[in-house]
Chains A and B, each alone.
Chain A
């Protein structure tokens, strides 16, 4: 079936550098995309979302880019901090338009 996937399972960056986490999705019906951060033993935390009528959205230190042509989503984190270390999931609303399909996750490790 169609699914959401991530290119890199792990990403290690130095503190202060920018991080880019990528996600590929396959369902052309998806029109809502979200990035979540999950720390060990905790539930996912909403970071930022974007609708398909946009190609870029910015938050505090984070930017989400959406390329519908190639069905690609990315999360950029500026000036990465140790507290950013976590697993990051992309999710999309797929066929239901409501329930979320989660990607496999990328583990971000920020080193001093």
Chain B
């Protein structure tokens, strides 16, 4: 149990285009999902916290108009990178929070590799 999927697993796009990444919790409902970005040989950096039915909470320095997050259901959150540029190339990882026994545990998706040309 506690499987999180992401789609696509990788995407290459031209500079200036927008890219949508989906994050799904397959076997549990997640009120809260998180989006992270990871550059090569670096740690995961939290971008935003996505709550079902409400606006996402963005971390300092993350542009909310550039990284649009929608959490329309308890099993799906989407991240749209608008007007992507080469510096947005990164590994984007989502996680979904599952509550069990009074403990919230984050389960991560496999990540999406974005390359902007």
Contacts and interface: CB of A to CB of B under 8 A. Distances in A.
User: Which of A32, A34, A44, A102 has most B Cβ within 10 Å?
Assistant: A44
Contact of A98 (B44, B104, B107): B104
Which DSSP category, helix, strand, loop or mixed, fits chain B's interface? Answer: strand
Interface residues of B, number: 24
A22 to B, nearest CB: 15
Nearest to A3: B43
Contacts of A98: 32, 49, 97, 104
Interface residues of A, number: 20
Contacts of A45: 108
A95 B61 CA distance: 18
Contacts of B42: 104-105
Given A43-B108, A44-B93, A49-B105, A100 B113 contact: no
* Closest 6 A/B residue pairs (Cβ): A43-B108, A102-B43, A102-B44, A44-B108, A43-B111, A43-B110
Interface of A: 32, 34, 36, 41-46, 49, 51, 89, 98-105
Interface of B: 4, 6, 32, 34, 42-46, 49, 91, 93, 95, 97, 103-111, 113
